[in-house]
Amino acid sequence: MDTPKRGGDPGELPAGIRFADLVDVPGLQALMDSVHKLIGIANAIIDLDGVVIAHAGWQDLCTRFHRVNPATRKRCVESDTSLAGSMTRGEHFAAYRCLNGLVDTASPIIVGGRHMANIFTGQFFVAPPDLEFFRRQAGEFGFDEGAYLDAVARVPIVPQERIEAITGVYAQLAQTLAANGMDRLRQLTAERDLEAANRGLEARTRQLEAANKELEEFSYSISHDLRTPLRAIDGFAKILVDEHDARLDAEGKRLLGVVRDNAQRMGRLIDDILRFLRMGKRKMECSRVDIAQLARTVFAEVRGGAPARRLRLEVGALPPAWGDQEMLRLVMQNLLANAVKFSPAEREAVIEVGGAAEVEENAYYVKDNGLGFDMTYVDKLFKVFERVHPTGQFEGSAIGLAIVKRIVDRHGGRVWAEGRVGGGATFHFALPRKGV
């Protein structure tokens, strides 16, 4: 018989783990029942605390007679104790002929380098039984002789050379189940650790959401509160220009113009901030959206705001989108206005809107032939107040693309950009194909 390996199992077991924790006990019991039917020998798996994990085929000679009578039961306990002691001394196999006349064997179950349980086989004879011995025993302990001898006749006779091999089959089987169970235990432990990590992540996410909400509310309040003094500054500057024009020299008028321009620019910036904040709070009302028609409508509005510019729109065959009509209008408005703003005024601006339907999403792009940008700074494009061109070179609050990203994020989509200095820019966004 192969010796049960003490170091061959994968890894060390955590403290406090019992053999029953590593196996599917009902499944093990069913398997032991099947093996007993095949081999015809009783078996039992008992842990080191004496707990029977699974057993099958115990002989009536033991269960109805020897384990019931106090005197013969004492002999059974002596057999169990002797075999268990052999296992704790490191023996890989032990056989014991109890005083009741039956033979039992045991082999240790080693898992993760730890002796965790024993596999017992037994309640058999290694040679034809001495019936006179059992008749005397029936009389000595008051057993019904006929029933007792019938039970003796049902006990299997197992040749000595088969005993150790059969016990080894049971032991290797139990160890294999335990090793598989240990893998399952590791998996469950990993799952519990992952669940704990997820709970921690959820808690931190809630904290972050609360902090973001507080920050948004603070920004919203500040933005609203700034409107009144800005209006006052612009209004008083206008009064000075309109009603005290004769008292102002050229430099005074210029400085008041600078004040008004900055107050109005700050007002537009506040409007953009509030628009950005509202994009995170606004309830979405999704439906099928014709992106091609939306692009043409928005472009007409953008062109109306720049009548002196030469602007041309080229719209390809675009798949419809599923989303909030007003939010997607704002996406298109910001992308088209951005394309116009960064196209030189001295030449015709050609803006192309295209897209394609893919497996899980519909992708769209807005491409221009303008100034482009250095891809080194592409990560700045969709962040609030970040710029890739020098401050003051172009009008705007540097929030428009951040609004685009926030809207697309709320739709479960994604945004990205490509550009080359002097070679134009292409802004992409993709939306999940829900409802289209």
List of domains in the chain: 19-196 (3.30.450), 284-436 (3.30.565.10)
The distance from CA 409 to its chain's CA centroid, rounded to whole angstroms, is 20
Q: What is the pLDDT of residue 6?
A: 39
| Distance (Å, whole) CA 384 – CA 407 | 14
**CB of 401 closer than 8 Å to CB of 338:** yes
| Distance (Å, whole) CA 81 – CA 413 | 69
Quote the pTM value: 0.46
The tokens describing 170, both together, are: 């049971």
Q: What is the pLDDT of residue 147?
A: 95
Residue 282 has φ and ψ, to the nearest 5°, of -60, 135
**Which of 278, 350, 353 is closest to 321 using CA atoms?**
353
Helix-helix angle 250-281:400-410, to 10 degrees? 10
**Which of 436, 419, 417 is closest to 428 using CA atoms?**
417
The tokens describing 63, both together, are: 């269960």
Cα separations in angstroms, 156 against 56, 75, 121, 353: 14, 20, 12, 87
Q: Which residues contact 266 (CB under 8 A, 6 or more apart)?
A: 226, 230
Q: What is the pLDDT of residue 332?
A: 92
Residue 138: Cβ within 10 Å count: 18
Low-confidence ranges of the chain (pLDDT < 70): 1-15, 211-212, 214-227, 265-266, 268-282, 384-398, 435-436
Q: What is the pLDDT of residue 315?
A: 92
Q: What is the pLDDT of residue 2?
A: 43
Q: Render pLDDT for 187-229 as a digit per residue (tens, 0 to 9).
A: 877 888 888 888 888 888 888 777 667 666 666 666 666 667 7
Q: Which residues contact 30 (CB under 8 A, 6 or more apart)?
A: none
Q: What is the pLDDT of residue 296?
A: 93
Q: Render pLDDT for 234-257 as a digit per residue (tens, 0 to 9).
A: 787 888 878 887 788 888 878 888
| Distance (Å, whole) CA 316 – CA 423 | 21
Q: Which residues contact 391 (CB under 8 A, 6 or more apart)?
A: none
Residue 95 corresponds to which amino acid?
Answer: A
Q: What is the pLDDT of residue 289?
A: 93
**CB of 126 closer than 8 Å to CB of 157:** yes
Surface-to-core class of residue 288, CB atoms within 10 Å of its CB (0-12 exposed, 13-18 middle, 19+ buried): exposed
Q: What is the pLDDT of residue 384?
A: 63
| Distance (Å, whole) CA 222 – CA 368 | 36
Q: Which residues pair with 355 in a beta bridge?
A: 364
